[in-house]
Structure 1
């Protein structure tokens, strides 16, 4: 029996709203607070990697039936964050920043896949033969 299935507020729509709001907030913070980025140091430090991991997890929970869309969403999110950082500060960073962002998003997707098995009921899961 799934552990979190009986919580009434958890639904696909709820996770979609949270995931898209979170990704939009990451991009907005990148544009808005350049002085915060300078205080934390490197553009892709531990905080941003953790934020992208959470974004990947939320995206996977929002779209449990389409892992390919989730991966494309994270690729687009990392590129949008890189572009917003470039437009806001004029510094494009290095290609290692994008690689770290992609790996962080992938870890989040894997964590979200594990959590989605706990949240979704057994009847909603598709069986592949």
Structure 2
């Protein structure tokens, strides 16, 4: 799961650098597809590191920062502060969804017979 999460985050940064216009744009002030992608990245990171919520949050802060910087290198602008707020919020929603899924999956595999 860790390899999937890291590969997905690296793919998000790589798509930002893509010259073939692989980035989906829905208009200003922020990109909805990017928010959904960051939500999925947060969920995958939380599922990959279920025992480390602080590391997951730091990973997503670093990922959003790397995406903003790569967006600057690819397009020449940072975007608005609202873009960063939406990206961080989407990543945090993803972490919350991943925590919920982790709790749903984890108890089922750790059940022991008390009889």
CA contact (8 A) 2:41 2:91 kept: yes
CA contact (8 A) 1:34 1:89 kept: no
Q: Distance in 2 between matches of 1:109 and 1:84?
A: 22
Structure 2 vs 1, CA of residues 42 and 27 (structure 1 numbering), >3 Å: closer, same or farther?
Answer: farther
The higher-RCO structure (CA 8 Å, 6+ apart) is: 1
Q: Distance in 2 between matches of 1:62 and 1:38?
A: 27
Check if 1:99 corresponds to 2:106: no
**Equivalent position to 1:122, from 106, 110, 115:** 110
Post-superposition CA distance 1:43-90 (Å, at most 9, x none): 831100000000000000000000000000000000000000000110
**1:83 corresponds to which residue?**
69
Q: How many residue pairs are counted as aligned between the two chains?
A: 109
**Equivalent position to 1:24, from 10, 13, 21:** 10
| TM-score under structure 2 length normalisation | 0.86
Post-superposition CA distance 1:69-117 (Å, at most 9, x none): 0000000000000000000110110111111000000000000001011
Runs of 4+ in 1 over 4 A off after TM superposition: none
For the aligned residues, what is the CA RMSD?
Answer: 1.8
